[in-house]
Structure 1
């Protein structure tokens, strides 16, 4: 008979299948509408899934709120630009690149992977210092890292274009490309969360002193989760750049930092499903409010929200969610295959 541990593992591994199926259904329905604006929204939403799931790998398992992940996103985005832009464009916008990089013209997939690896390397280096801290001190240190990255990229004119936008990136990322990476991020996040390192890290999140007394190396597990998290965050930056075709350092600063954290908190920081549900929920709400601000006709009546209503209403929704569901929409629970869950519960009952 299936033991309790095996049952829990089977349920845990059903979660990514459910989440990927939901995202695939979302992408498919948007494609069927034939609406190009909705297709762009879907691609952006799925890129946010890569970002927020990457963020969850570290924040959800360690309990440390990170304000610095947009920095890894910027690193990945600009790395992809350095590798994929045509040499003529780089000589025009980025004249100080080293010759080997100025002449590089990589295919988009290897460039995205390389971008994630560079972000992971920077996460390893920065995390080696930051993760010696805990709690609010570590969170403030991550914000300092974000400020450093933004300052460097906003002033390194010959390499990043400084505050001038870098244009000309191949716009190859649609909802299906983004879905593929979202699926990869979800699978990796679930695999890490159910690994020995992920379980040990969540133990340190619940009680650092008890975990340390049990011989758990908190620093090593935090650093590993940050490196994996940095990889997918860097990839999300590359995807965003190749979705809109333009890069600017301010695209990877406070705005995207707060919206990604908001999505994670609203969905529920305690589960992988919370990260995905938070992205879908807030993204659909944002799209609805944007369209209402531009005006929507219902029969003979036109409904238009005043300018700025979007931010106010999103803030109200977030406050209500946090009041009514302090642990987020998913309340720390994961979505699972209903039939599998029922079957395993029946087996457990029979065993008992």
Structure 2
């Protein structure tokens, strides 16, 4: 029987590979259909994978439900916009920006990374206070942080444009760009989960008293996961902005918060695979229902759902899943290659030894 240590090592080695292949197959199928709407749906889904996996790094390992991660996506989106918009456009739309930022015109990749880094720094500073709380108090504090960021961004008009949308972002995010970021998020999330810090954090999730008695510093491990998760949410927010081409503070508020929670709960909070599967399942279901509302022709017959059916059907489906499978679609399990596929070469090629004390 494999030890927990061996299972963690196998998860870190094979789960990112299996999930990356799953997402690659998703992109190839979407592009092979030759439908631009499906290709856009694939890119948007992979952006959501980056966001939800980043969200899972903290929520899945700590057990603390955060309502504030959409704020990190907002910060990342605006930092990327400040860095990539043309200087003359920033001077017109955002006259309150410092001269150095107004004159800057970065490439989109370092701008996305910068968005993630700034979001991580904000998480480090705010998490130093928020994460001293636990349970529902910590969750409420994260919601207060979300409301604070939204209020500042909506009223800081010279710098953020206020409630007016910031337009003109370079729409460079293709399914392949989004796939690269999603795979990077999955890899880092798996490595963190299999690390000593990830294991210690999950120990505090299961039993805080026993973990504290074992000398585990809950605060330090939570702060590390919170900061790391904020980086990928910030980068995901930058991708969202450059996918749509327009950003607005309300686009990173309650609707995005509830979407992240719904996708994570649907797939299962207890596993990285659940985070990815939840995004894929919900995104594909939404796309299918939207097309059914528009009408699908079968020969001479056209079938269509009544307007608004999408929300009703999805709500009923989520209620049924929570009733009959409360741990989510993956129920806390990870997708991994079979153990025999990743067995160590020395274990398969080792010659049998003679029993001790016997003469050959």
Coarse TM-score class (shorter-chain normalised): over 0.9
CA gap 1:110/1:334 in 2 versus in 1, 3 angstroms: same
Structure 1 residue runs of 5 or longer lacking an equivalent are: none
SS of the equivalent of 1:302 reads: strand
For each residue in 1:68-90, what CA deviation from the matched residue of structure 2 results, as whole angstroms up to 9, or x when unmatched? Answer: 00000000000000000001111
SS of the equivalent of 1:171 reads: coil
Equivalence for 2:20: 20
CA gap 1:342/1:185 in 2 versus in 1, 3 angstroms: closer
Q: CA deviation at 1:342?
A: 8.8
CA gap 1:214/1:48 in 2 versus in 1, 3 angstroms: same
Equivalence for 1:136: 136
Structure 2 residue runs of 5 or longer lacking an equivalent are: 353-360
Equivalence for 1:237: 237
> Aligned partners of 1:225 and 1:111: how far apart in 2?
22
Equivalence for 2:314: 314
Assess if the C-alpha contact under 8 Å between 1:24 and 1:179 holds in 2: yes
Equivalence for 1:276: 276
> Aligned partners of 1:309 and 1:129: how far apart in 2?
43
Assess if the C-alpha contact under 8 Å between 1:12 and 1:336 holds in 2: no
For each residue in 1:230-285, what CA deviation from the matched residue of structure 2 results, as whole angstroms up to 9, or x when unmatched? Answer: 00000000000011100011110111110111110010000000000000000000
Question: What is the root-mean-square deviation in Å for CA atoms of aligned residues?
Answer: 1.9
Q: CA deviation at 1:8?
A: 4.3
> Aligned partners of 1:150 and 1:4: how far apart in 2?
43
Q: CA deviation at 1:4?
A: 6.5
Q: CA deviation at 1:311?
A: 1.2
CA gap 1:256/1:7 in 2 versus in 1, 3 angstroms: closer
For each residue in 1:206-226, what CA deviation from the matched residue of structure 2 results, as whole angstroms up to 9, or x when unmatched? Answer: 000110111100000000000
CA gap 1:4/1:160 in 2 versus in 1, 3 angstroms: closer
1:94 aligns with 2:98: no
> Aligned partners of 1:78 and 1:65: how far apart in 2?
25
Equivalence for 1:181: 181
SS of the equivalent of 1:297 reads: strand
> Aligned partners of 2:93 and 2:114: how far apart in 1?
21
TM-score (ref. length: structure 2): 0.93
> Aligned partners of 2:285 and 2:260: how far apart in 1?
14
**Within-5 A mapping of 1:11-160:** 11-160=11-160
SS of the equivalent of 1:105 reads: coil
Assess if the C-alpha contact under 8 Å between 1:30 and 1:39 holds in 2: yes
TM-score (ref. length: structure 1): 0.95
Q: Which moved more, 1:326-335 or 1:305-314?
A: 305-314
CA gap 1:290/1:94 in 2 versus in 1, 3 angstroms: same
Q: CA deviation at 1:199?
A: 0.2
SS of the equivalent of 2:67 reads: coil
Equivalence for 2:358: none
Assess if the C-alpha contact under 8 Å between 1:67 and 1:142 holds in 2: yes
> Aligned partners of 2:163 and 2:30: how far apart in 1?
34
Q: CA deviation at 1:195?
A: 0.5
SS of the equivalent of 2:297 reads: strand
Q: CA deviation at 1:28?
A: 1.0
